[in-house]
Amino acid sequence: MKPRDANDVLREQGAGAFREAFDKAPRQTRANGQNGRGNEARTAPSRPASWSDRRLILSSAGFVQGFVPPDYVIFGLLQRRFLYSITGKTGAGKTAILLLIAAHVADAKKIVDRDVEQGRVLYLAGENADDVRMRWIALAQQMGFDLETIDVHFIPGVFKISEMQDRIRAEIKQIGPVSLIIVDTAAAYFEGDDENSNTQFGDYARRTLRPLTTMLGEPCVIVACHPVKNASDDNLIPRGGGAFLNEVDGNLTAARTASGVVELHWQGKYRGPDFAPMHITTRTVTHEQLKDSKGRLIPTVVASPLSEQGHADIVQAARSRQDELLVALRDPANRKASQIDLARHLGWKLRDGKPHHVAVKRAFKELEKDKLVTGEPGRIDLTKKGETALNTLVQNTPNLNTRCSDPEHI
């Protein structure tokens, strides 16, 4: 008589047997699959190949036995076997954030108060591999990890993922299970012929990106995405619209706030409990290994997470800068000054001593949003509301300091 296998059990007892069989699997085998550090993936009875191979109707007990607990890479944020997009405008810090996440996962280092499960990371650097190299070298210095030993692996360059999946799968078997795969970016690896086709982007997510979650280790997959055209910060939906969004398990968003901090949250879709926005700061750094052909240091950008208090301090500093700019606009000459001249007047400098005109631009935009000013640097006008706010500010804070202590964090 032919011995019964897992599918025979499932046909007789329903899908609940899958979970029961997994629970009875050897502890070490299961652990290997969960933490991505062992030599084998989690072993469990395979699911039936088709609906005809198992019963359709399950009892309540059989149904709930099929529950698979969430397997987090970052607790409360990213789950294994899930496909996520992270959408942000150009310059919002997507690559810096993804490299930061990769380093934290590989080193099992908490992100502020969030637990991180240690695991191997695979990073597909398709959009600009040289830029990713520079950022990674600089991040190692900032975070103190060893570039030689950290368990993060890279595939530089653009290729057709669908045609290389078998090779990727084979090479992952050589290095061991992975917990996280990062694709930077969706546009770089897009395999269609029309970037404006929502249907093609939906197919791309389903047929090319989703299968990455089935690699050895059942990794979480995060794909960096550009937003739809002319997107505002409250409409950061990945290119491909609803067709793409329907195929992912969550769309994380990266949006730079008025204080210059990047807010990491979600829009459109997120499977799982809601979470409070995370705040991340980006900054420009240099590294002795990063020089041009003439030996000059090349600046690059890295990210670091902010605690609640750190974020509150930066927000307060940004508000103070807005007040400083408003006070400076008492002088009609300053209303005609350029951003660079206003930065010089206020003493807002970058670490290289150059005027931080971007700080002026951001402060002005916030004053404009609050309807305190109109126009633009070079031809600024105060509104009636702005005049009132300025008078109140001067009366209440006559000794207002117009110097920014740390403008580069703007």
What are the DSSP calls for 318-350, one per residue? HHHHHHHHHHHTTSHHHHT--HHHHHHHHT-B-
Token pair for 49: 């190949």
Mean pLDDT, residues 142-159: 97
Burial of 276 (0-12, 13-18, 19+ CB in 10 A): exposed
- Give every CB contact of residue 354 below 8 A, 6+ residues apart in sequence: none
- Please say if the pLDDT value at position 24 is more than 70: no
Residue 195 pLDDT level (bands cut at 50, 70, 90): confident
Higher local confidence (pLDDT), 183 or 30: 183
Looking up tokens 């499960």 gives 117
What is the topology classification, in CATH, of domain 310-409?
Arc Repressor Mutant, subunit A (1.10.10)
Residue 39 pLDDT greater than 70, yes or no = no
pLDDT band at 404 (very low <50, low <70, confident <90, very high): very low
Give the separation between CA 10 and CA 186, rounded to whole angstroms. 38
pLDDT of 46 > 70? The answer is: no
Q: How far apart are CA 49 and CA 385, in angstroms?
A: 68
d(CA 283, CA 355): 16
- The per-residue pLDDT for 398 is 64
Q: Which of 234, 250, 314 is nearest to 282 (CA)?
A: 314
DSSP symbols for 166-225: HHHHHHHHHH---SEEEEE-HHHH--SS-TT-HHHHHHHIIIIIGGGGGSTT--EEEEEE
What span, in angstroms and rounded, lies between the C-alpha atoms of 357 and 346? 10
Whether residue 72 has pLDDT greater than 50: yes
Strand order in 180-184's β-sheet?
152-156, 121-125, 180-184, 220-225, 83-87, 250-256, 262-270, 278-285, 300-305
Q: Please say if the pLDDT value at position 246 is more than 80.
A: yes
Answer with the residue of higher pLDDT: 401 or 324: 324
Taking residues 26-52, report their average pLDDT. Answer: 43
147 pLDDT above the threshold of 50: yes
pLDDT of 399: 64
Is 30's pLDDT higher than 80?
no
Predicted pLDDT at 350: 85
- Exposed / middle / buried, residue 144 (Cβ in 10 Å: 0-12, 13-18, 19+): exposed
What percent of the chain lies above the pLDDT cut of 70? 84
How would residue 49 be classed by pLDDT, with cut points 50, 70 and 90?
Answer: low
- Is the predicted pLDDT of residue 406 greater than 70, yes or no? no
Cα torsion 258, 319, 99, 142: sign:
positive
Which residues in the chain are classed under CATH 3.40.50.300? 72-306
Confidence of residue 383 (pLDDT cuts 50, 70, 90): very high
What is the number of residues in the chain?
410
Pick the CATH number of 72-306 from 3.40.50.20, 3.30.200.20, 3.50.50.60, 3.40.50.300: 3.40.50.300
* Tokens, residue 105: 């996962």
The stretch 178-195 carries a mean pLDDT of: 95
CATH 1.10.10 boundaries in the chain: 310-409
Report the predicted TM-score, pTM, of the whole model to 2 decimal places: 0.80
pLDDT of residue 259: 87
pLDDT band at 3 (very low <50, low <70, confident <90, very high): very low
